[in-house]
Amino acid sequence: MDMSLVNSFDRDNILVARVDDFLNWARASSTWYFQFGLACCAIEMIAAAQPRHDLERFGAMPRASPRQADVIIVSGTVTMTMATRIKRLYDQMAEPKYIISMGSCSNSGGPYWQHGYHVLKGVDLIVPVDIYVPGCPPRPEALIDGLLALHKKIREDTPLRKVS
């Protein structure tokens, strides 16, 4: 977090900042995530949310509804049955929205990348992924690293300027 913003309150209660920075600081500080645990990777995502790793200290709170979430963490094997649902739930999320793809399965099909007729070979075939977290499964630290990478990405965003 950019502490210079907070420290400026000590002096004169006037905040001087670029609007982009201010908005991005707010957005990156509360990335509520839509938990989308699909297989074994979900266990690590749950572990990351538990007190030992405590994802909430980074402002990430699990939500069970796409309407309340800023980021969707797709963790696990995306089957064809689930693929259509992920697409629909992603469409239901409010902009701006981000996707973290957690684990080999949702990155590329994982152990099923050759054989599984029923497994989607990477969730990026149907939705745009922002952060890929490698591993089978990734440890909670890896997910935290992915989340911090997402924060970095959000802070470099320009939410008020339209991208042409």
Partner 1 sequence: MEFTEIIARVDQLAPGAFAPAEEGAGHVWVQPEQWLKVAQLLREDPELHFDSLMCLSGHDRGPEQPLWVAYNLHSMDILHKLEVRIEALREGGSIFSVANIWRTADWHEREVYDLFGINFEGHPDMRRILLPVDWEGHPLLKDYTAPDYYRGIPVLKDKRGWE
Residues interacting with partner 1, by CB under 8 A? 80-81, 83-84, 109, 113-114, 117-118, 120-121, 125-126
Among 28-36, 58-66, 82-90, 97-105, the segment contacting ligand SF4 (CB under 6 A): 97-105
Cβ proximity to partner 1: between 118 and 152 the closer is 118
What sign does the CA torsion over 59, 64, 65, 66 have?
A: positive
Cβ proximity to ligand SF4: between 110 and 146 the closer is 110
* Shortest Cβ 138–ligand SF4 spacing (Å): 8
Q: Which has the closest alpha carbon to 106: 77, 127, 85, 86?
A: 77
From partner 1, ligand SF4, none, interface partner of 13 (C-beta below 5 to 8 A by class): none
Q: Any bridge partners for residue 109, and if so which?
A: none
Neighbours of 88 (CB within 10 A): 10
Residue type, 63: R
* Shortest Cβ 59–partner 1 spacing (Å): 33
Neighbours of 96 (CB within 10 A): 12
Q: Which has the closest alpha carbon to 101: 81, 83, 118?
A: 83
Residues 1-40 that bind ligand SF4 (CB under 6 A): 39-40
Helices (H), the chain: 3-12, 19-29, 41-49, 80-92, 104-108, 140-155
134 lies in the site for ligand SF4, by CB under 6 A:
no
Q: Which has the closest alpha carbon to 65: 40, 87, 92, 42?
A: 92
* Shortest Cβ 38–ligand SF4 spacing (Å): 7
* Shortest Cβ 1–partner 1 spacing (Å): 39
Joined together, the tokens standing for residue 93 give 């999320």
Q: Choose, by CB under 6 A, the member of 78, 104, 120, 127 that binds ligand SF4.
A: 104
Write out the residues near ligand SF4 by the rule CB under 6 A.
Answer: 39-41, 76-77, 103-105, 110-111, 136-137
